[in-house]
Amino acid sequence: MTTLVLAEQRQGILASTVPHIVTAARQLGGSVTLLIGGSRGQQAAKTAARLTGVTTVLLLPDDTTTDPLPERLAQQIVQWMAVDHLDTVEQIVAAATPFGHALLPRLTALLDGSLVTNVMAINAPDSVTKPIHAGAVLVTRHLMRSPRLMTVTASSFTAAAEQEHRSATVITLPTLTMPTQATESWRLRPTSFQASHSNAQADLRSAAIVVAGGQGVASCGSFAIIEELARQLGGAVGATRSAVDAGVAASDWQIGQTGKIIAPKLYIAAGISGSLQHLAGIKDAGTIVAINHDPQAPIHAIADFSLVADLFQAIPALMTTLKQLATRPG
């Protein structure tokens, strides 16, 4: 039995979610094969091959695009599986990211399998747990039909370690010719790639520390105070939808029901009220620190440490203390 992990890469760099998805795949049992598409997959494949638990890395070369399009990649995978792997691949796993959510429904339809999205725990190869109603309820789903496909919330699983002295076999698959009717159905063509400016410090989905700001920060017209604290702590920047809507935070910083689901060890929420939609994104966070000047704000009820204070006074004081601690001898 094989679990196929569909690994995302951008411009040859393996996505930070992949080591987490490998852990989820290992919990499903059997061998773990990783598949990477796109013309610059070699570099990402080298990193992927060192991940603990990965048996084989398959490179699906595609000279037409550096970052594979879901509709094209789905058809290539199905073609590859049709050659002789249809019986051995029991599970197909990808990260619960736009990449995974665009690719897996297409694959499910083409392979006539069963699909569950946003999996946060694996109970058995055919039984998984996922949140619904903005995380207020957890449900168990049974995947009745093989192959079983799932998108997995990366932050719910620890990252598989990179090994220094061992590497899985990397196999480059032959380029497959697409049937004309398949290529005619493609509706998208990549024209350019532009990295967003945001979160230069760390990836929000896999960061151990996240500093997030809400409307209380946005009201001053800048997110600089949050970015500075995140930089100082070596963490990632997060935001509420209100802060994104106010135009001071990037949209890919949004955490919550319609944003990212994260599970950092430390989550600092500044000027955030704690709406249900926001809390849906931090259910698996470790220690939650709330800085909010309203003692009645709902965020205080779920926080491990509450600071009822003005964030524009509390955060600079915190940064000064951190600097002093960092420079203190011993």
Ligand X SMILES: Cc1cc2nc3c(=O)[nH]c(=O)nc-3n(C[C@H](O)[C@H](O)[C@H](O)COP(=O)(O)OP(=O)(O)OC[C@H]3O[C@@H](n4cnc5c(N)ncnc54)[C@H](O)[C@@H]3O)c2cc1C
List interacting residues with ligand X (CB under 6 A). Answer: 214-216, 219, 240-243, 254-259, 271-273, 275, 277-278, 291-294, 297, 310-312
Choice between 208 and 314, CB closer to ligand X? 314
Cβ distance to ligand X smaller for residue 199 or 273: 273
Q: How far is the CB of 282 from ligand X (least distance, A)?
A: 10
Least Cβ distance, residue 230 to ligand X (angstroms): 16
Tell me: cis bond preceding 174? Omega within 30 of 0 counts: no
Cβ proximity to ligand X, 33 vs 153, nearer residue: 153
Helix axes 224-233, 311-327, angle to 10 degrees: 30
Smallest gap from residue 258 Cβ to ligand X (A): 4
- Please identify, using beta-carbon distances, which residue of 93 and 96 lies nearer to ligand X: 96
Per-residue b or e along 136-173, where b marks 16 or more CB atoms closer than 10 Å to that residue's CB: eeeeebebeebbbbbbbbbbbbebbeeeeeebbebeee
Distance CA 174, CA 176 (A): 6
CB-nearer residue toward ligand X: 73 or 249? 249
One-letter-per-residue 3-state SS of 280-314: CCCCCCCEEEEECCCCCCCHHHHCCEEECCCHHHH
Backbone angles phi, psi at 290, to 5 degrees: -110, 130
